[in-house]
């Protein structure tokens, strides 16, 4: 049995979520009305996993999460609104140690629950097995449970950055696939790619459409390289990081004789979107395998495993995140099982490996 704590200030939402998980048959459930109750229930009930709303009275979800991650760390799935403000709060929650998030669609609560039923159950089950990473900061905490605040990662200045030349013969590409646990893992890797990085970097992170632009903007504030959302046809340029637009698939095509990234409608042939598998396949169509570096990071499922294994088979190089650092080892494990990983490394060593294989 999985012990689940549901935290939401809406009585109707608590009832809907409770009924949803009771129907699964293998959950023991308690509910809390606000962050203060969530902290108390985490101590007493000792849940295996928590669903946590962000906007609540008395103690909001982010503050509660900060306390939970210090007092008794437990996998947490945030329940987020489908807005830019909700996206920014969700990224802060992931930085504080949450494993994943579920986006509330618009409309009535009952219709919303029906729309997210499969997603929320899947994500809660995955989170219950996830490997926790320590919180990076505890600035929201106060009182005796608070830990000393940790320094924030300094933001890079926003002045115009020097841009490398457009694609030339012999230039390669880095393709990155990532899902559950991805935002924090990418924050561990992408800021360590230096100015002058000679290849473009394309990232397929499973994420809804309203989240990818705020995420790209957040990464742009942390990285030496320019980070953009690939929301329109863009000629691939060295030293630019392209975040796939959510609600679409990312593809490499040829425009005017030059490799170009586009956001295409979700291809029903693939289960997850933006599709890592489609990104890998189209990279192979437009670059020699020897000029492709595939990086497979945390996430459930097998998205991209076949394409990345093919990259290695044809002479390219691939990196698989190791189990010791992956929040969810599904996607990296699938690549390893196919013999498609050139090396397997913890997240904190991946940027160093990329830089050694793609010297500036």
Task: Specify the residue for token string 């005017």.
Answer: 256
DSSP 287: S
CA–CA distance, 139 with 62 (Å, rounded to integer): 10
Q: Is 210 a catalytic residue?
A: no
CB neighbour list of residue 64: distance below 8 Å, 6 or more residues apart: 7, 34, 35, 36, 38, 39, 52, 56
303 is catalytic: yes
d(CA 47, CA 311): 42
Tokens for 173, please give them.
């590409």
> Which one is catalytic: 60, 66, 81, 206?
206
Distance CA 136, CA 153 (A): 9
Instruction: Provide DSSP, 47-100.
Output: -SEEEEESS-SSS-HHHHHHHHHHHS---EEEEEESSHHHHHHHHHHHHHT--E
Entry field: residues in the chain: 360
Residue 357 CA from chain centroid, whole number: 24
Annotated catalytic residue, options 179, 275, 320, 322: 179
Q: Which two tokens stand for residue 169?
A: 């013969």
Q: Which listed residue (60, 81, 303, 325) is catalytic?
A: 303
Active-site annotation holds for 286: no
Token pair listed for 88: 């920014």
The rounded distance, in Å, linking the Cα atoms of 10 and 95 is: 25
Residues identified as active-site: 179, 206, 303
């Amino acid at each position: 049995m999985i012990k689940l704590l549901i935290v939401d200030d809406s009585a109707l939402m608590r009832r809907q979520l409770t009924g949803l998980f009771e129907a699964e048959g293998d959950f023991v459930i308690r509910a809390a009305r606000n962050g203060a109750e969530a902290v108390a229930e985490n101590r007493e009930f000792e849940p295996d996993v928590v669903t946590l709303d962000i906007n609540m009275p008395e103690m909001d979800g982010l503050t509660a999460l900060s306390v939970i991650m210090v007092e008794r760390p437990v996998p947490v799935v945030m329940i987020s609104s489908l807005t830019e403000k909700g996206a920014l709060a969700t990224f802060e929650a992931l930085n504080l140690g949450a494993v994943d998030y579920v986006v509330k669609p618009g409309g009535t609560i009952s219709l919303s629950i029906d729309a997210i039923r499969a997603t929320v159950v899947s994500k809660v089950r995955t989170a219950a097995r996830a490997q926790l990473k320590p919180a990076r900061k505890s600035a929201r905490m106060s009182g005796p449970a608070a830990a000393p605040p940790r320094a924030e990662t300094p933001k890079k200045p926003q002045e115009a950055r020097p841009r490398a030349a457009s694609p030339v013969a012999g230039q390669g590409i880095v393709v990155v696939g990532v899902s559950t646990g991805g935002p924090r893992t990418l924050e561990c890797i992408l800021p360590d790619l230096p100015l002058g990085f000679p290849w473009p970097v394309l990232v397929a992170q499973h994420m809804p459409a309203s989240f990818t632009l705020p995420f790209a903007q957040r990464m742009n504030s942390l990285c030496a390289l320019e980070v953009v959302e690939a929301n329109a046809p863009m000629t691939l340029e060295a030293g630019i990081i392209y975040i796939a637009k959510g609600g679409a698939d990312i593809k490499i095509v040829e425009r005017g004789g030059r490799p170009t990234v586009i956001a295409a409608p979700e291809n029903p042939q693939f289960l997850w979107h933006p599709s890592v598998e489609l990104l890998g396949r189209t990279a192979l169509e437009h670059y020699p395998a020897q000029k492709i570096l595939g990086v497979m990071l945390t996430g459930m499922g097998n998205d991209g495993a076949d394409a990345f294994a093919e990259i290695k088979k044809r002479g390219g190089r691939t990196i698989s995140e190791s189990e010791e650092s992956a929040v969810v080892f599904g996607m990296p494990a699938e690549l390893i099982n196919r013999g498609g990983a050139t090396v397997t490394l913890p997240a904190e060593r991946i940027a160093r490996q990329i830089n050694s294989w793609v010297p500036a």
